Structure 1
Amino acid sequence: MKQYEYSYSEKKLGYSLEGEDIIFRVWAPGRETVTLALYDDPLDIRRTLHYMIPDEDKVFEITLAKDEVTPYYTYILDHEFEVTDPYSTAVSLNSLRSAIVDMENLKPPGWEEHKLPGAIAETDAIIYEMHIKDFTGHKNSGAINKGKYLGVIEPGTTHLGFATGLDHLKELGITHVHLMPVYDFLTVDENPDRFNDDSNYNWGYDPEHYNVPEGSYSTDPSDPGCRIYELRQMIQKLHEEGFKVIVDVVYNHTYRGRNSNFNLLAPEYYYRTRTDGSYSDGSGCGNELATERPMVRKFILDSLMYWVNEFKIDGFRFDLMALIDIETVRKAVNILRLANESIFIYGEPWTAGMTTLSDKLTTTKGKQQGLSFAFLNDNFRNAIKGDSNGEGRGFVHGNCDMKRETEIGLAGSIFYDKGRIGFGIAPNETINYINSHDNLIIYDKMKKIFSQSDESFIVRLNKLAFGILFVSQGIPFIHSGNEFLRSKNMLDNTYNSSFNVNALNWSLKSRNNGFYNFFKDLIQLRKKHPEFRLKTGDKIRESLKFFDVEREGCNCIGYTIKLDNKNVEEGKYTLVAINGHHESCLITLSMVRNHIEKQYGLTEDHLCIIEILNMDGLVTSKNSRGELDPHGVEIPGYSIMVFSLAERCVK
């Protein structure tokens, strides 16, 4: 590998349609000969061979007339190995052979001119993570195209009178749909007759062809163009309904290692190795891509731009982003921002094992500062719920040790003060979440810790956890089904569990409709109140002030946010009170007045307290208790409450 470790070519790789010709190019520095093999049928053994010519950078190339080219192709290396094209944009069933398609002919009506959702500030986003098959695959989803791209966008689907699928997303009020892997992955059989096999399931974090949509989610996976057309249909409809679309990308490892098309084309180049020649395994999946090498970096940048240009993607979530070197991340952010100034970029700031990539090159917390991308915030997650899979407790379970870390999260994980130091400089650098697809889903985590408690208590803890999420500065992220208490049967890593475990059971929406309505209210609270969506670290430090709530124990958090309202009846401050203990705590008005005078330098002789949110949801004019006790308010155990502090109350 040494002789081509620093090789680089600017040439466009893959195939290109140029007038009446097709140009094939592949970088194969580890090979003496490369032969293009063309097939009429993906399972055919008959083929025509065309020898490719290398340039000085070992980019092998051939130009053929379109009428000479058949639909499927591979590359034969040194008359020994046959591989698909890493730059494939279409493949046959189960990724056996690369396919040639004309992307111009695979555009749904209105694709080019369809209206994209307008730009919004990142802290105004509410991200909803979903797996395509999970979302509508269950028998009660009401969808016709269950578990497919098209199933996601079917209008009017219901179960027991409650909206499912697309209409559910619209009703819920989220802004961004985060799609778990929709590129081509290997661990699911794409044969349609196996789609409903309970064991034929995977999340998809095992990439094979990065630029090809996954075929099992299409209605005809044997047609290489169908998956492209239907994924575009889905994205277009989501855009038209006002949702931005984020895709999960896994540029840290591949499913295959030494037998991958990458490694056979350029042995030992695409992967990091240890001194003994074995693969570095910071991914926990057997290998990791050497993103710092020029042609690996080029592939990643080309791939990202392909998804933006051909699928109008609005954002990317980088799996195990720490394994992608920081220089590649910087370059990716720069080219993506040039293409779309408002594109969303975030990732995981950790590895899944030891890596040979030096610490100074890993993309970890702190290195994102000022670089216009965000990290999934495991500090926030752990502060709220404790450890991911065990019985370790978080703030919502009464763990006093997590109070300060919870306050850091509430303040957007910035450097708030000397006692509350986060990893960011602005709230748009933190993706706050309770759980994602990984580990125990939060409902199961609550059940594990309080296994003897009744259901009403488990529901209350979930309300408290998500209440904290939606009043925290930063960007909230939820996993599909969190909104109606989804369970995964107490399994903590369901990436290849049965579909029966992973499918979104829509009957939970009716069963837990009270919780669902509370969850919707949390989203509306955040949307209606910009004080929970502050844009800068300076504004947070200036406006948000914590105060001590006196009680036995330490699990009450109180803070105010000073508002910019001019109308005294609209409220001058928002007060948030969070109780992570079974006993109630009291917040007196004198305590609040003293706090305001100390923190803001203002004297407030006349303040009335009006409920905005309690554990039943948003307080409306119909269920409002009006001005509360002028002496103060009691915060029940395991509760979150939000109040308006106004100079004069509306009668």
Structure 2
Amino acid sequence: MGLGNFIADIGKALPLGAEPTETGVNFSIFSRHATAMTLIIFESADPDSDFEEISLNKRRNRTGDIWHCHIRGLGPGTQYLYRADGPYVPEKGFRFNPYKALLDPYAKAMTDLSVWDMAASVGYNAEGAFNDLSFSYKDNIRSQPRCIVVDDDFDWQGDRPINYPLRFSVLYETHVRGLTAHPNSGVQHPGTYLGVIEKIPFFKELGITSLEFLPIQEFYEGELSRKNPGTGKTLVNYWGYSTVSFFAPKGSYAWDKTPGGQVREFKEMVRELHKAGIEVILDIVFNHTAEGNEWGPTYSFRGLDNTIYYMLDGNKRYYKNYSGCGNTVNCNHPVVRTFILECLQYWVMEMHVDGFRFDLGSILGRDQQGRLMENPPVLERIAEDPVLSSTKIIAEAWDAGGAYQVGWFPGGRWAEWNDRYRDEVRRYWRGDPFQVQHLATRISGSADLYLRDGRKPFHSINFLTSHDGFTLRDLVSYNGKHNEENGEDNRDGGDNNLSNNYGVEGPSNSSSLEGIRERQLKNFVATLMVSLGTPMLLGGDEFARTQGGNNNAYCQDNEISWYDWTLMEQNQELFRFVKEMIAFRLRHHGFMRPEFYTGRDGAYNATPDIIWFDEKGNAPDWEKTEYCLALRMDGSRADILADRDDSDFFIMFNPADRQAHFKICEPLAGKRWYLAMDTSLPPPDDILSAGNELPLPDQDEYYMQSRSMAILLSKVI
């Protein structure tokens, strides 16, 4: 195909994006306020290749607000951009500029973003000065990444999304690149989707059900200008919470660098994970884009229809900023609602993902003026969409504008990250006094938050650590954050970490101190796995991954964030404990109950479904009980949906810096208590595999070491 030989037909308005046909490619893009639209087609993948600009006739190539055309002779791999002309009146919200080549919001793949000169997309005027009221004549077409036409055909080999019920799920939050980027990762394709495939045996051994990936929609690592004060290297956007293209999987995470190769490789990863019985959940960032505020670049949404895609301030020149990142997507505008729904549907239908975690999800509940809505249309549409009906939808139920909706996130069947669980369990095991009532509330499903509007215990995503904050190892190793290498003089990142270093900041050569830390790691994991709700484990916590006290490693694409796989060998006993605790949870339906505890007899055996005790065997005085707590859980009809019984359990918690003698309640007639787990015991006695639990010599009392947790289960004599 040579330039000038294109045959352009009218095309059709839907679907939006670039859709291969039998004879060519149909191009379609939305812009309500543009007065002219130009499609740019590149002759080849060469960065310096020639291109042709095809002006779309606003009568012939426009249906309503959608511009479209069909180009015969093109196919998958074609690279393209747009130009949109219209008014440039920032004080009225319009920022059209035909000198800025624009990305298609529906593009399914992008060229290499690492060569992007984003500064060329910023509005500098002809004199080189920046003023967002001054029109910029600088053309960015040679510095802008390009969209790639993608063919959706793929040999899925019969694969479909798995969609485990939430209550049977154990989530594992990880980063595609960081998982295998380290030279000691032992994979042939480090830092890629193929690298994830190579780690499937590890995930299977660990026993998790679902991977929750940090953002994999295309983003630009090079948007930061700050340098690491220690190394002098420019820091990067490592986490990816600054989306450039919502339909496109990140190209740099693919080993296959051919045009569109990242789409095929992502699909291969999903297919192989599904074969292994592992779900794929995506962290998705609809709350803002990488275009930033009025000082930011124009590369897509801003240049196509700024007043539609973003929440603007009263005089329209400035952007409302509920994201803390410069702009806020206008999620409840009808056009943007459709964009969000079609994006989610694409990832489910064409990419076979099993769920989404919505970053700063409360923004999706704001109206076009930024006010929180009682029943936000976009949240309801996501919850009620028939394509997404089995898909996991998980909200980070707050935003940077002051919204906090944990326990009452609107829109129906949403699950939520439960930061109350994180904070209150941390306080308890740190040794803060008088926390027993909070621990009891959190491990019994957070009924204070979720016992409303048809919610269930599994709508609480229980977690103790996540990408944002300390790792579990750092939680027991540092009293304060150590973010100096982020280049912000240690001002960034949270200060309320609820951590404890137990006397030494950072690594220690003291075997007794390290013993306390290792026990605390087990206490945290064991608590997480016996709590009602859906547990989420931060990747690497199972073998004590550390970030050296950095609790905001968003800009560290290096050993600070990468998984150090030598820790698997050094901490193999911790790994064994974690995988055994996951297996323990998944084989005991009592910890995956579909309903909240009632404190009453629900199985007609004269035994309440849960009873609480202090260490003396009495009902705890919730205001005065300082540290120790125990519970007895009745396993009869633990899973009422399946009419399934489980063992009875007696679980003891001692966060105090002293030993404790717990009075044990009697087992039901014909049964005997067996020890399943005690975090104070040396491996392998700290947790016993199924069938190897040990009968307690003394059925009346159990002696517990300081800072420890123990689980007894009943068996028929």
Assess same fold via TM > 0.5.
yes
Q: What's the counterpart of residue 169 of structure 2?
A: 125
Taking a change above 3 Å as real, the CA distance of residues 499 and 556 of structure 1, as seen in their structure-2 partners, is same
Q: What's the counterpart of residue 30 of structure 1?
A: 33
Q: What's the counterpart of residue 634 of structure 1?
A: 703
Taking a change above 3 Å as real, the CA distance of residues 341 and 297 of structure 1, as seen in their structure-2 partners, is closer
* Partner Cα separation in structure 2 for residue 549 and residue 610 of structure 1: 18
Q: Is 1:435 the counterpart of 2:465 in the alignment?
A: yes
1:70 Cα deviation after fit: 8.2
* Cα-to-partner distance string for 1:59-86 (whole Å, 9 max, x where unaligned): 1122221349982111112243321111
Q: What's the counterpart of residue 494 of structure 2?
A: none
Stretch of structure 1 that moved more, 24-33 or 310-319:
24-33
Q: What's the counterpart of residue 373 of structure 1?
A: 414
Q: Is 1:324 the counterpart of 2:358 in the alignment?
A: no
The one of 446, 456, 474 equivalent to 1:426 is 456
Structure 2, unmatched stretches of 5+, are 1-11, 86-97, 117-143, 224-232, 366-375, 479-499, 505-512, 603-608, 618-623, 639-644, 680-684
* Partner Cα separation in structure 1 for residue 691 and residue 302 of structure 2: 66
Q: Is 1:583 the counterpart of 2:616 in the alignment?
A: no
Q: Which amino acid aligns with 2:653?
A: I
1:445 Cα deviation after fit: 1.9
Q: Is 1:89 the counterpart of 2:108 in the alignment?
A: yes
Q: What's the counterpart of residue 178 of structure 1?
A: 212
Q: Is 1:215 the counterpart of 2:251 in the alignment?
A: yes
* Partner Cα separation in structure 1 for residue 452 and residue 419 of structure 2: 12
SS of the residue 1:153 aligns to: helix
Q: Trace 1:211-290 onto structure 2 (pairs within 5 A).
A: 211-221=247-257, 223-257=258-292, 258=294, 259-276=298-315, 277-290=317-330
Q: Which amino acid aligns with 1:352?
A: A
TM-score w.r.t. the length of structure 1 is 0.83
Q: Which amino acid aligns with 1:426?
A: K
Q: What's the counterpart of residue 192 of structure 1?
A: none
The root-mean-square deviation of aligned C-alpha atoms, in Å, is 2.9
1:511 Cα deviation after fit: 0.6
The one of 452, 457, 476 equivalent to 2:535 is 476
Report if aligned partners of 1:203, 1:496 keep a CA contact under 8 Å in 2.
yes
* Partner Cα separation in structure 2 for residue 339 and residue 486 of structure 1: 38
Report if aligned partners of 1:188, 1:202 keep a CA contact under 8 Å in 2.
no
Q: Which amino acid aligns with 2:705?
A: P
1:635 Cα deviation after fit: 2.6
Q: What's the counterpart of residue 487 of structure 2?
A: none
1:506 Cα deviation after fit: 0.6
Q: What's the counterpart of residue 676 of structure 2?
A: 612
Q: Trace 1:443-462 onto structure 2 (pairs within 5 A).
A: 443-448=473-478, 449-452=500-503, 454-462=513-521
Q: Is 1:18 the counterpart of 2:18 in the alignment?
A: no
Q: What's the counterpart of residue 47 of structure 1?
A: 51
TM-score w.r.t. the length of structure 2 is 0.76
SS of the residue 1:499 aligns to: coil
Report if aligned partners of 2:156, 2:271 keep a CA contact under 8 Å in 1.
yes
Q: Which amino acid aligns with 1:573?
A: D
Q: What's the counterpart of residue 627 of structure 2?
A: 555
1:612 Cα deviation after fit: 1.6
Structure 1, unmatched stretches of 5+, are 1-8, 155-164, 190-196, 386-393, 597-603
Report if aligned partners of 2:43, 2:49 keep a CA contact under 8 Å in 1.
no
Q: Is 1:151 the counterpart of 2:195 in the alignment?
A: yes
1:550 Cα deviation after fit: 3.9
The one of 404, 411, 419 equivalent to 2:444 is 411
* Count of aligned residue pairs for this structure pair: 584
The one of 146, 149, 170 equivalent to 1:101 is 149
Q: What's the counterpart of residue 202 of structure 2?
A: 168
Q: What's the counterpart of residue 423 of structure 2?
A: 382
SS of the residue 1:311 aligns to: coil
Report if aligned partners of 2:167, 2:592 keep a CA contact under 8 Å in 1.
yes
* Partner Cα separation in structure 2 for residue 185 and residue 169 of structure 1: 27
The one of 329, 332, 345 equivalent to 2:393 is 345
1:621 Cα deviation after fit: 8.4
* Partner Cα separation in structure 1 for residue 222 and residue 599 of structure 2: 46
Taking a change above 3 Å as real, the CA distance of residues 252 and 10 of structure 1, as seen in their structure-2 partners, is farther
* Partner Cα separation in structure 2 for residue 510 and residue 60 of structure 1: 58
Stretch of structure 1 that moved more, 79-88 or 606-615:
606-615
Q: Which amino acid aligns with 2:524?
A: A
1:380 Cα deviation after fit: 0.3
The one of 436, 458, 465 equivalent to 2:524 is 465
* Partner Cα separation in structure 2 for residue 531 and residue 328 of structure 1: 35
Q: Which amino acid aligns with 1:578?
A: F
Q: What's the counterpart of residue 113 of structure 1?
A: 158
Report if aligned partners of 1:586, 1:633 keep a CA contact under 8 Å in 2.
yes
Report if aligned partners of 1:198, 1:500 keep a CA contact under 8 Å in 2.
no
Q: What's the counterpart of residue 184 of structure 2?
A: 140
* Partner Cα separation in structure 1 for residue 318 and residue 543 of structure 2: 45
Q: Which amino acid aligns with 1:489?
A: G
The one of 294, 297, 303 equivalent to 2:334 is 294
* Partner Cα separation in structure 1 for residue 145 and residue 599 of structure 2: 54
Taking a change above 3 Å as real, the CA distance of residues 579 and 76 of structure 1, as seen in their structure-2 partners, is same
